[in-house]
Amino acid sequence: MAPHNDIVLFHYSFSPYAKRVIWYLALRGLEYAQCIQPTALPREDVNALGVKYRRIPILSIGRDIYCDTRLILQKLEERFPSGAIGATDPDQKALQKLLETWTIDGGVFYRAAQAIPPEMPLLNDPKWVKDREDYMGRSWAKEDIAKGRPEALAHLREAFELLESTLLADGRQWILKTKQPSLADIEAIWPFHWLSTMEGALPPSLFGRDNFPKVYAWIDRFSSALKAARNSAPKVVTLKGPEAIQHITQAEFAEPGGEVDAPDPLGLKKGQDVESWPIDSGFNHRDRGQLVALTRQEVVLKAQAKIGHKDVHIHHPRTNFRIRAVSEGGEPKL
């Protein structure tokens, strides 16, 4: 049975991006259901909802389906404001946003992915390796990962040093000097936490606790706070694919349709057939549908679930996504 707030999270446990959302939900104590997905395509449950977007996680609230953790976390802050953990004043909001940009778009996670040790068992699975190559557009062969690791580690050491010598240098417990971890901590910590739990990823001679004591103390505090939050949070309900699909397609929309921003430089019109897709990773998979809304922050498309044939609204952020009109036959309009 899905929770009363209609939140369903599609993810798999190894995904560092999914952890961003899982941690947020735990720290907020928000009730939700999960639908566990394969680590590699195809993901038939997501496909059944009419969604082509291939990245994990995806979060639905009713028949609104949110893609990309940047948008997911923003929507959770907006739709469940009581007890929100995001920054409130302009200076803190700026820092929170800069940390999000630094870790996602600024190269920190890209280098973290390059630091995966060649001995990782999943790299012995040809299907998973091929899937990663489709996802990121680069080789995931063991020999290529081994060649790229030294450069990645050099960049990561600089990132560790930045945290050690600036934001954490004054001994603060949390990034925004809050009493408990905030969204800013999630935005900053996730690639460092992920690497610290991956055996063989960080050579002790370069990344030992003596090298970055404040960073590791922060990671330890975060893990303890997360454990305490999970112990008091509502139990997560696990839904099988057909259960999740049935719940979503029988639900109402969580948001009104919205409008298209008239001054938007793309010049698109409400109801127009469009396609939208990420351009940084997962770019071989595009969602198509009628344009429901277009703002400075997001694009919303109306698509149809393959099971139940109900309309769903697919939400993408604007950052690092491309949107263009398509003809009725599905061809892009040049």
CA–CA dist 172, 176 (Å, integer): 8
Beta strands across the sheet bearing 287-294: 237-238, 33-36, 7-11, 58-61, 64-67, 311-317, 298-304, 287-294, 273-278, 321-325
**Cβ atoms < 10 Å from Cβ of 279:** 10
Amino acid letter for position 63: R
Contact yes or no for 291/272 (Cβ under 8 A): yes
pTM for this model (two decimals): 0.96
Extract the tokens encoding 140: 């995931």
Contact yes or no for 159/152 (Cβ under 8 A): no
The per-residue pLDDT for 3 is 75
Q: Phi first, then psi: give them for residue 268, nearest 5 degrees.
A: -85, 160
Mean per-residue pLDDT for 191-220? Answer: 98
The per-residue pLDDT for 334 is 53
The per-residue pLDDT for 333 is 63
Residue scoring higher pLDDT (243 or 329): 243
Decide if pLDDT at 327 tops 70. yes
The per-residue pLDDT for 21 is 98
Extract the tokens encoding 4: 């009363």
Of 2-6, 52-56, 106-110, 216-220, the poorest mean pLDDT is in 2-6
Provide the residue count of the chain: 334
The per-residue pLDDT for 134 is 95
Over residues 263-308, the pLDDT tens digits come to 999 999 999 999 999 999 999 999 999 999 999 999 999 999 999 8
CA distances 83 to 76, 80, 179, 180, Å, are: 11, 8, 13, 12
CA–CA dist 62, 49 (Å, integer): 12
Dihedral of alpha carbons 217, 223, 225, 227, sign:
negative
Decide if pLDDT at 310 tops 70. yes
Decide if pLDDT at 330 tops 70. no
Decide if pLDDT at 61 tops 90. yes
Mean per-residue pLDDT for 229-258? Answer: 96
The shares of helix, strand and coil residues in the chain, as percent rounded to the nearest 5, are 40, 15, 40
Decide if pLDDT at 322 tops 90. yes
CA–CA dist 195, 173 (Å, integer): 21
CA–CA dist 210, 204 (Å, integer): 9
Decide if pLDDT at 48 tops 80. yes
Decide if pLDDT at 1 tops 70. no
The per-residue pLDDT for 321 is 98
The per-residue pLDDT for 4 is 79
Short-list 21, 327, 288, CA closest to 316: 288
